[in-house]
Structure formats: C-alpha cells, structure tokens
Amino acid sequence: MKTITLALLLAFNSLAGQQKPEPMEKQTVQIVTEFLTAVQTGDSATVAASLHPNIEWSQPGNNRFSGTKKSSAEVFQMVGGMLEVSAGTLALTDVNVTAVNGNAVACLVRWKAVKPTGVVLDVNNIDVYTVESGQITRAVVFSDNLAQEDEFWLR
C-alpha cells in the first residue's frame, strides 16, 4: 500500500509541475480577434490565413450578397462586391467579442458604409464564428436591421 501511495504522490507531483495546455476557448477567441482586427486594418494576408478554404459563411437578408458561401473564395468575392457597391467605404468600426462556447465565439460588430448616392449603412451584427484546427470554418451573421442592409445592398 505504501508503494502505491508513494507512486501516486510522485505522479501527482510531476503533473503539478507541468504547464496545462491552453484552453480551447482562449485559442478560439484569439483566432477570431486576430481575424476581426485584420479586417479592421485591411491586413488581407491575415484575413486569408484565418479563413478555412472550405468555410461556410451564412449572410442574412434578401439582397445580392445574402445566402450561404461555401468557400473562402466565395467570401472574398462577396466582400469585393460589397466594397465595390460601397465605393470602398465599407468599414468594420466596432468589435466586441461577447461570448465563447468551446470552439464558437459570438461577437457584436458594427459596420458602416456610404454609397456615392448618399445612402448610408450603419448596422450592428452578431457574428458567430466556429474555429477548427486554427482557422474559422463557419460564420453565421445576424443583422439588427435587415431592411437597411437589403436596401443598401439592393439587387
């Protein structure tokens, strides 16, 4: 019995000195935060590296950019179209990472843009990002004003 107790104590002591692995939640938040910061600063290399090639991106509404994108190429095509329609004014102005659950992060973000015609986009979205193997594999976007988004992104 003393041998078993001594062996357990030695095992616990050696484990206590080891550093615990980084929790999944911390890594998930870091990846999403780096992605959103890259979007804000125009760091396209980090944006591209953050998105899995087969990302599934769900964009709300009933406009030319709505629907599910099934690859990073489709996401970049959508964003390129949004920048074109907004005459390059589309900007992610505020980011608040609000909650994490395992490998998913919910963020409150604010987008602003102005068309040359003067039509303004100023909406809050809740984005939910799923991270796997260090990349964002899924994004689901919820808008607080779909009517404004649909009007801005007219078909």
Per the rule left: phi > 0, alpha: psi between -120 and 50, beta: everything else, 87 is left
Q: What is the pLDDT of residue 98?
A: 81
Exposure letters 62-94 (e unless 16+ CB within 10 A, then b): ebebbeebeebeebeebbeebeebbeeebbbee
Q: State whether residue 145 is helix, strand or coil.
A: coil
Give pLDDT tens digits along the chain (155 positions). 554 443 444 444 444 444 444 588 999 999 999 999 999 999 999 999 999 999 999 999 999 999 999 999 999 999 999 999 999 999 999 999 889 999 999 999 999 999 999 999 999 999 999 999 999 999 999 999 999 999 999 86
Q: Tokens 């019995």 — which residue?
A: 1
**Per-residue pLDDT tens digits for 89-115:** 999 999 998 899 999 999 999 999 999
Q: What is the pTM of this model?
A: 0.83
Sign of the four-CA dihedral 52, 54, 56, 62 = positive
CATH class of 23-152: alpha beta
Alpha helices in the chain (DSSP H): 2-16, 24-41, 44-50, 72-85, 146-152
Q: State whether residue 31 is helix, strand or coil.
A: helix
User: What's the residue count for the chain?
Assistant: 155
**Domain ranges within the chain, ordered by starting residue:** 23-152
Q: What is the pLDDT of residue 15?
A: 45
- The answer to whether the beta carbons of residues 110 and 123 sit under 8 Å apart is yes
